[in-house]
Every structure is written in C-alpha cells, then in structure tokens.
Amino acid sequence: MPFEIQRKPLSLLEKTYIPQVIGGMATTLKHLFRPKVTLQYPEERPVIPENYRGVPTLVKDPNDREKCVSCQLCEFVCPPKAIRITPGEIPEDDETAHVEKAPKEFEIDMLRCIYCGLCQEVCPEEAIFLQDTYSVTGLTRDEFKFKKQKLYDMGGTLPDKHYKWDKKKEAAEAGNGH
C-alpha cells in the first residue's frame, strides 16, 4: 500500500516566490563583496602543498647514473597498470655493471595513472618520485605515454641518501683484490 505524504499548502507570499528571490539576491550580494579567489591560470599559479603528489618521474643519482635497476616492483604494484618496464642488461665493461640490470624501456601512461604514489613507496632504489608538476598537456594519446628519456628529463637528479651503488662497487672491487 503506498504511503502518501501530506504537505501543507503554500501561503500567498510563498506562491509569489518573493522570499526565495530575496534569499538568492542576499547570497549574490554576500559573494559580490568577498575577496576574489579566482586565479588567472597560466600567469598566476596556485601554491602547491609540500605533500602534493604530481607526475611520477625517474631520477638519477648525483653521479648521473640511472637509479632504476628494473626490479619491476612499481609495475606490479600499479593499480591501473600504467607502468610498463622492459628489463635490459648492462654491458660487463660498464662502470655500473655491478648493478646487473637497467631498464631497456620504461613507460608510464599518464592517461591511466591515478597519482596514488604506490610506485614511489615501493621502489627500493628510490628511482621514481612524484614531482610537483600538475599540468600535463598533449594533443594525442601517444603524447601522454611518457618514455624513459622524458621521465628522466622531468625528474632530473636527486641526492642519494644511501650511496648504495658506491658501496656495492667498493665491495665488488675489494672482493676482486683491486
């Protein structure tokens, strides 16, 4: 059985909508004299909070070496599967040969990325960081697939707190009797 709600009839003043119009005008006048909050975007930029999570990028160490060792943890943990890594080998005669692997290809599809930060958290080598870049533009879908070189260009160089590669290299040289 349907339940019927009894509503009280509108008064003569309510039927003219005058109280609603006055209420709308009061809201408009209240906002008219407030300070402006609109930014003129390309010229004025918003203040970015310290813990802002923006575009994920790859970084190099202070010696301009790739920090990524192609462990693929970021690829496995990425919820939308936006990261694709193709592992590659490092030649024996290279100074970073003790690292064993480096990414042959590294790609992040920014149209799929949800900026969750899991890739940064899981990276054991601290090779991937979310920068404070928030305006990523392009005209085609392919422009939003960031390849390895573009990721390194955007990320730049960050100080390495652990110097783990140097320690590994020194331990490898000590084991070889150098």
Over residues 63-73, the pLDDT tens digits come to: 888 888 889 99
pLDDT at 168 over 80: no
Spatial contact of 109 and 145, defined as CB atoms under 8 Å apart = yes
What pTM did the predictor assign?
Answer: 0.68
pLDDT of residue 166: 59
pLDDT of residue 143: 94
CA distance 103 to 117: 20
**Mean predicted lDDT score pLDDT of the chain:** 86
User: How confident is the model over 69-125, as pLDDT tens digits?
Assistant: 889 999 999 999 999 999 988 877 877 667 668 899 999 999 999 999 999 999 988
Query: What are the residue ranges spanned by the domains of the chain?
Result: 56-162
What pLDDT is attached to residue 169?
Answer: 52
The pLDDT tens digits for 119-148 are 999 998 889 999 988 888 899 999 999 999
What is the phi-psi region of residue 156: left when phi exceeds 0, alpha when psi lies from -120 to 50, beta otherwise?
A: left
- 56-162 — its CATH code? 3.30.70.3270
